[in-house]
Structure 1
């Protein structure tokens, strides 16, 4: 089977490797679609993702597909089932798993390397999707499940004002979910003019860049700020524009070698709360339910559909990623 590897030094290769054989508890899935995540870009640029990166590694983890084979101990799936996969395995018995903190599992590892024709995750990492949900949309389940966890942490109250930095795929989904949470005003902060228009289309009340926000934030008490970029400048600015008693969620994956500086006195006098969100504990099923409901617009977020062979150029120049969500088309089934 074919698989797309990051091999180090900003190099990507498509390799022919031995086709996976499912273990007793595994589900073999023919991958239909896999999203290109900012974490994949971090890895390609030699940075760590959710875990340390030691190349060569198969990229991708936001995947959906069709079951083609199951292990003899599998009871919930059969060939032909349409599914999405949670790529993050937890052992269930370490001290963090025993507390329900499975995203901090000491034995956590990835089990759905989606830049490949097939994956073989354990049954507990596989989720059925309804016939009404197409497989391309179902590939959004993993990033959406991470968003669901992040929003759980800050618990947005109805009638509040929310600012969101960045209108990539994460920001685009967040705008819509925040609107459904009952926020009265949503402000998107983004530099790309086309994305500012998309922000309004997706439900933002105000769409400005990171300079313009400095002219308006003092007249608005921003209750929540969500930073989806992982940029030190916008993370620092998020603390500046946050209002009294505000909650800040640093959702974007930052550079592990760059520290974020904040004004402690400013944070103190506003009584700020800063949250970070790590992975997607127990939120995949809810993400699939949200996608199945049809309330989210994912079609207008997708900027390109690429193949295993040509996604290497995208990792290098990010031409389509700057415009929206890049989807890797494997089998392409819907």
Structure 2
């Protein structure tokens, strides 16, 4: 398609250091030497977007960047490449990672790209077009559904958490938090051959737990007084091999884990652990693992799993919005309705 320099595009932006976001007209972006201009096909709405919109949980770190177009889970089509780009071409379909890597720091030199000290970052995808560094872009098959491609970022986070764990085929797991990351963990674990997966959620997560059941997972509501007993009844007698905390609640892992099991922290911890709880985990022999974002190798496997049909991410999408109605998606998240909302700029 022909790029019209100087034309305006529709976008959702954060313009001031206070709660709220705005629908704006922004100038058409242009790619720099090592970047891509991407026409956004779909972009996922993330819980961290809501924190920024509501100006909470560290959102103040963005003050120096305001005004900024939001959105960091997109997929789309390359329509222009920078002068130094050789590994992408116009017409390629790509999924974009909000966290790239420098390739030079200590963690990158050790192959731990997800811990890069100076990562290249991406935002600006709640718009018709966005610019992405080539280190943040991953080629996906042209046959892949664009909505599935936009879900590769959260799925990659879930897959990475499973790969960080000790899980093997035939093992058991508990996933705390039935949101997109929790469901991604469960999908990745099932694809690995994990045979017993229990998902837990709050009483307000009833709709999300119902969706998890339609996807074939067993669920327990932590709003029930006997929820731990319910969960244990669905697990092997000695407990789960791994508990994945995708909610940040760190909710009763010792009661659910076998001795010597693993607690994998994926969600931002939302509370402090009391010393008594830490001692209980210590004497239970629990290994605590922190799992952050993804690696390039995780992306490769995630793309292969989805494109082969081994994993279907589409059931997670419960709501779709045009940019003009995109602000409604934040109300959805705030009220914990639905699971995954997408902004579809062409709608």
User: Measured at CA, do residues 195 and 21 of structure 1 come closer, stay the same or move farther in structure 2, by a change above 3 Å?
Assistant: closer
Q: Shift in Å at residue 237 of structure 1? A: 2.1
Q: Deviations over 1:271-309 (max 9, x none)?
A: 001111112122222221121112223222111101223
Q: Deviations over 1:168-190 (max 9, x none)?
A: 12222222221122222111112
SS at match of 2:209: helix
- Equivalences for residues 161-172 of structure 1 within 5 A: 161-172=172-183
SS at match of 1:34: strand
Question: Between Structure 1 and Structure 2, how many residues are aligned?
Answer: 326
**Structure 1 counterpart of 2:47:** 38
**Structure 1 counterpart of 2:193:** 182
Q: Deviations over 1:143-172 (max 9, x none)?
A: 112122211111312222211112112222
User: Measured at CA, do residues 50 and 277 of structure 1 come closer, stay the same or move farther in structure 2, by a change above 3 Å?
Assistant: farther
Over the aligned positions, Cα root-mean-square deviation in angstroms equals: 2.3
SS at match of 1:96: helix
**Structure 2 counterpart of 1:248:** 263
RCO higher in structure (CA 8 A, sep ≥6): 1
SS at match of 1:4: strand
- Preserved CA contact (<8 Å) 2:35 2:134: yes
**Structure 2 counterpart of 1:135:** 146
- Preserved CA contact (<8 Å) 1:30 1:331: no
**Structure 2 counterpart of 1:25:** 34
**Structure 1 counterpart of 2:274:** 261
CA distance in structure 1 between the partners assigned to 2:33 and 2:146 by the alignment: 26
- Preserved CA contact (<8 Å) 1:63 1:112: no
SS at match of 1:89: coil
Which has the larger displacement, 114-123 or 216-225?
Answer: 216-225
Mapped pair 1:213 → 2:223 = no
Mapped pair 1:305 → 2:305 = no
**Structure 2 counterpart of 1:5:** 13
Which has the larger displacement, 212-221 or 263-272?
Answer: 212-221
CA distance in structure 2 between the partners assigned to 1:103 and 1:177 by the alignment: 19
- Preserved CA contact (<8 Å) 2:264 2:288: yes
CA distance in structure 2 between the partners assigned to 1:133 and 1:312 by the alignment: 27
CA distance in structure 1 between the partners assigned to 2:106 and 2:167 by the alignment: 30
SS at match of 1:20: coil
User: Measured at CA, do residues 141 and 270 of structure 1 come closer, stay the same or move farther in structure 2, by a change above 3 Å?
Assistant: same
**Structure 2 counterpart of 1:15:** 24
Query: Please, what TM-score do these two structures have when normalized by structure 2?
Result: 0.86
